[in-house]
Structure 1
């Protein structure tokens, strides 16, 4: 990953509503959620949710798929893992600093 991609992803997550939305999509897993379900679950107005989903899409942290009349949003687990990998690359100058290795999400 390039620095600018990581900065874009972290900037998108550096807003409370977007972080909450992204975490809800991560918890939901590969099945994803519709905006209506997200709005209800998170108590976020539809217009606000739409704005934040657009920002997460722009940062490539979520994907959008049409299913009939619905849009389904999913966390981009490969992107999330790439950001985490970038942040922990060369951790502790190559020394063992974790008692257990971090496990990437296989969702």
Structure 2
């Protein structure tokens, strides 16, 4: 990733409401949220929210799709990953033991659910 898109993404997130918007959209992945719902949840006027969503969209951090009369916004997690990877490239000058705590702290807080195969195992009570 080039430096300019990273700067654009970081600048977009360097404002409290936009950071709140992005974090809210991350929580609602992969469904996303309509713009009006984002504004309602964060108690921000819709015209102000539109401006914030436009900044995040130009930075590539959110995507939008029209669904009927609503526009549903989603966090672009691939872009976030690219920004984070850019920031961590060459972490600690090739000494991974220094970066271990940092990398562990950004590991997913909720691992993917395991899909069950076949019938559930039933324990017998002996």
TM-score (norm 1): 0.91
Which secondary structure state, in structure 1, belongs to the residue aligned with residue 73 of structure 2?
Answer: strand
**Structure 2 residue 49 is matched with structure 1 residue 45:** no
Report the secondary structure of 2:28's partner residue: helix
Question: Can you list the C-alpha shifts for 1:1-38, whole angstroms capped at 9, x where unaligned?
Answer: 00011001001111111111011001111100001111
Structure 2: runs of 5+ lacking an equivalent:
112-126
- Size of the aligned set, in residue pairs, is 106
1:95 matched residue in structure 2: 95
Q: Flag as ranges the 4+ runs of structure 1 deviating above 3 A.
A: 99-106
d(CA) in 2 for partners of 1:29 and 1:44? 21
What is the root-mean-square deviation in Å for CA atoms of aligned residues?
Answer: 1.8
SS class of match (1:64): strand
Tell me by how many angstroms 1:103 deviates. 3.5
The 1-side partners of 2:108 and 2:2 are apart by: 19
Deviations 1:30-71 (A, max 9, x none): 100001111111111111100000000110100000111211
CA contact (8 A) 1:81 1:104 kept: no
Of structures 1 and 2, the one scoring higher in RCO (CA 8 A, sep 6+) is 1
- Structure with the bigger percentage of helix: 1
| Aligned-partner Cα distance in 2 for 1:47–1:66 | 17
Q: Computing the radius of gyration over CA atoms, which structure comes out larger, 1 or 2? A: 2
Of 93-102 and 77-86, more deviation after overlay is shown by: 93-102
